[in-house]
Amino acid sequence: MVDAIPTAETSSLFTDEEKAVIAASTELTRTARLSHETFLRLRPFFDERALVELVVNTSIANLNNRVTESFSADVEPED
């Protein structure tokens, strides 16, 4: 299912809620902003607290990725 994420918008594998989360996560990763359109798309599925948690968790993941990439750090060292 992970392989289908790039085509989530047109895939029948994902619910509307999952598609909205994928769109929001992608947008936050690319622009560090959540557009009004994407916010409105998420709103039917999440209350304010859950929306904040989604944005914070996505942001933390992006921060972690940028730091580990900056130092070429191995997240999971080879055995």
Number of folded domains in the chain? 1
Q: For residue 77, is it within any domain?
A: no
Say what the pLDDT of residue 58 is: 97
What are the percentages of helix, strand and coil residues in the chain, rounded to 5?
Answer: 70, 0, 30
Phi, then psi, of 25 in degrees rounded to 5: -65, -40
pLDDT digits 0-9 by tens, 62-74: 999 999 989 987 7
Whether the predicted pLDDT of 78 surpasses 80: no
pTM listed for this prediction: 0.83
Q: For residue 68, is it within any domain?
A: no
Q: How far is CA 15 from CA 9, 51, 54, in A?
A: 10, 17, 17
Say what the pLDDT of residue 76 is: 73
Q: Which residue range is the domain that position 53 belongs to?
A: 2-63
Q: For residue 44, is it within any domain?
A: yes
Q: For residue 75, is it within any domain?
A: no
Q: For residue 71, is it within any domain?
A: no
First to last CA, the chain: 27
Whether the predicted pLDDT of 1 surpasses 90: no
Q: For residue 72, is it within any domain?
A: no
pLDDT digits 0-9 by tens, 3-14: 889 889 999 999
User: Tokens 């990763």 correspond to what residue?
Assistant: 29
